[in-house]
Amino acid sequence: MFQFTHNNFNVLDLGRSLKFYDEALGLREVRRLEQPDFTLVYLSDGKTPHELELTWLKGRTKPYDLGENEFHLAFTTDDYEAAHAKHKAMGCICYENPGMGIYFISDPDGYWLEILPAK
């Protein structure tokens, strides 16, 4: 039997990413592993056991190649309209599908995050 634990995104600027995930989605750091060449930071929504692991490779300056970026993480929100207004003000909405009632935001490294209304 298996269960989800976390997903990983590699980031260029750890501070910028931590600020984005806190402001945009309310994700908070729950633990950190510092190594000479890299840092791992685990973020949590405080409600589910699933975490987002941010990996910062120290010294990397080249943006990550996300290919066609055909992957994403999805989040639900109890107040879809307020979330949409907040993300619009932040300038991070990268795609909207009003017919499906969803939209996507993009983090500082170009990863897409789907926003869904809670059912």
Is 23 annotated in the active site?
no
Indicate if the pLDDT at residue 69 is higher than 80.
no
Q: Token pair 């729950």 is at which residue?
A: 30
pLDDT, tens only, 24-57: 999 999 999 999 999 999 999 999 999 999 999 9
Q: Does any domain span residue 94?
A: yes
Which pLDDT value is given to residue 92?
A: 98
Q: Does any domain span residue 75?
A: yes
Q: Does any domain span residue 93?
A: yes
Q: Does any domain span residue 1?
A: no
By residue range, what is the domain housing residue 30? Answer: 6-61+70-117
Beta-sheet strand order (sheet of 28-34): 6-11, 51-57, 38-44, 28-34
Q: Does any domain span residue 28?
A: yes
Instruction: Report the alpha-carbon angle 116-68-56, nearest 5.
Output: 80
Look over the chain and give the mean of its residue pLDDT values, rounded to a whole number: 95
CATH code for the domain in which residue 23 is found: 3.10.180.10
Catalytic residue among 29, 68, 81, 114: 114
Q: Hey, what amino acid is at 45? A: D
